[in-house]
C-alpha cells in the first residue's frame, strides 16, 4: 500500500484481489487474521508501477505493448534499464526489446496489439526509421498495395540487401553510415548497402 492523501488513508497498489478475498472470508467467519503489507513512500509512482506489474506478471504475462507502456513510464520515473531488469527478473536485452516497440508509430503498435500484424513483422519494424514506418503504413492502409511482412519486410527495409556487420572486412567505426541493430535477432546491419560496398571494396583492394 501507499499513502493516499491523509496519514490514515492508504491505497492498495498490489494485492487488491487477495485483500478483497481475505475481507470476504473474514466477513463470512466474523473474524479475520491481520494481513501483512508494505507501505511505500508517498509519491513513489515508479515503485507502484513495479509492484502492480509484478503482480500482473505473476498471474499472466502482459502483452509486449503493455510491457512497453509500463517500462517506458518507469524510465520516465528515473529507473534505469538495469534496475527494471533486476526488478522483474528478466535480462536487460528483454527490457530493451520491449522498449524498442515504443519506437513504433502508434498505429503500428495498435495494429500489433490487435493482432492485425504478426510479431515478426512488428519486430522488423523496430529497425525502421520513422520515415520508413510511415511509408510502410501507407502501403498497409492502401488495399491496392502490398505491405511487406516478415522476412520480405526485412529485405524491403534494406533495399533488398540486409548486410550484417559480421561480413565487413573493414573496421565498423570507419563506416560513415548508420548501423541498425536488430534487438530480436541479436545482429546489426548496414543501413546503406552502397556505402557498405564502397568501404568493402576499398578494404579488398587494400589487401591485394
Residues in the chain: 208
Other beta carbons less than 10 A from residue 94's beta carbon: 17
Q: What is the number of domains present in the chain?
A: 3
More confident of the two residues 25 and 165: 165
Radius of gyration of the CA atoms of the chain, in A: 24
- Does residue 162 share a domain with residue 142? no
* Locus of grid cell 538495469: 82
- Does residue 8 share a domain with residue 83? yes
User: Interior CA angle at 152 toward 197 and 104, to 5°?
Assistant: 95
Our separate counts of H helices and E strands in the chain read 10, 4
Pairing mode, if any, of strands 187-190 and 179-182? Answer: antiparallel
Q: What is the model's pLDDT at position 35? A: 62
- Does residue 199 share a domain with residue 125? no
11, 47 Cβ separation under 8 angstroms: no
* Locus of grid cell 510511415: 134
More confident of the two residues 98 and 54: 98
* Helix residue spans in 30-129 (DSSP H): 45-59, 64-76, 81-88, 92-100, 106-113, 119-125
The answer on pLDDT for 198 being more than 70 is yes
The answer on pLDDT for 55 being more than 70 is no
pLDDT, one tens digit per residue, over 109-128 is 889 988 899 989 998 999 99
CA distance 135 to 14: 42
- Which H or E element spans position 29? helix 16-29
Q: What is the model's pLDDT at position 78? A: 83
- Does residue 194 share a domain with residue 131? no
Q: Is residue 109 part of a domain?
A: no
Q: What is the model's pLDDT at position 60? A: 37
- Does residue 124 share a domain with residue 172? no
* Locus of grid cell 514506418: 133
More confident of the two residues 60 and 38: 38
* Locus of grid cell 535477432: 185
Q: Is residue 106 part of a domain?
A: no
Nearest Cα to Cα of residue 11 among 55, 61, 62, 45: 45
- Does residue 149 share a domain with residue 162? no
Q: What is the model's pLDDT at position 143? A: 92
Mean pLDDT value across residues 15-42: 66
pLDDT, one tens digit per residue, over 123-176 is 899 999 999 999 999 999 999 999 999 889 989 998 888 899 999 999 999 999
More confident of the two residues 114 and 7: 114
Q: Percent of the chain, pLDDT > 70?
A: 75
Task: State residue 118 phi and psi, 5-degree precision.
Answer: -85, 170
CATH number at residue 88: 1.10.10
CA distance 128 to 155: 11
- Does residue 203 share a domain with residue 182? yes
Q: What is the model's pLDDT at position 48? A: 65
- Does residue 61 share a domain with residue 45? yes
CA distance 120 to 182: 12
* Full domain range(s) for residue 73: 2-101
Amino acid at each position: 500500500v501507499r499513502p493516499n492523501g491523509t496519514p490514515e488513508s492508504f491505497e492498495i497498489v498490489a494485492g487488491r484481489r487477495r485483500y478483497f478475498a481475505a475481507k470476504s472470508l473474514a466477513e463470512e467467519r466474523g473474524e479475520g487474521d491481520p494481513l501483512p503489507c508494505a507501505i511505500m513512500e508517498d509519491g513513489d509512482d515508479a515503485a507502484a508501477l513495479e509492484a502492480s506489474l509484478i503482480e500482473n506478471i505473476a498471474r499472466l504475462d502482459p502483452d509486449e505493448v503493455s510491457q512497453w507502456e509500463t517500462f517506458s513510464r518507469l524510465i520516465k520515473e528515473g529507473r534505469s534499464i538495469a534496475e527494471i531488469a533486476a526488478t522483474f527478473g528478466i535480462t536487460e536485452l528483454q527490457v530493451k526489446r520491449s522498449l524498442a516497440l515504443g519506437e513504433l508509430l502508434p498505429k503500428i503498435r495498435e495494429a500489433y496489439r490487435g493482432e492485425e500484424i504478426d510479431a515478426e513483422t512488428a519486430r522488423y519494424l523496430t529497425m525502421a526509421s520513422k520515415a520508413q514506418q510511415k511509408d510502410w503504413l501507407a502501403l498497409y492502409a492502401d488495399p491496392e498495395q502490398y505491405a511487406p511482412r516478415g522476412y520480405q519486410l526485412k529485405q524491403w527495409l534494406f533495399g533488398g540487401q540486409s548486410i550484417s556487420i559480421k561480413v565487413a572486412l573493414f573496421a565498423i567505426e570507419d563506416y560513415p553510415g548508420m548501423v541498425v541493430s536488430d534487438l530480436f535477432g541479436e545482429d546489426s546491419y548496414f543501413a546503406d548497402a552502397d556505402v557498405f560496398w564502397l568501404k568493402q571494396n576499398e578494404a579488398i583492394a587494400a589487401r591485394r
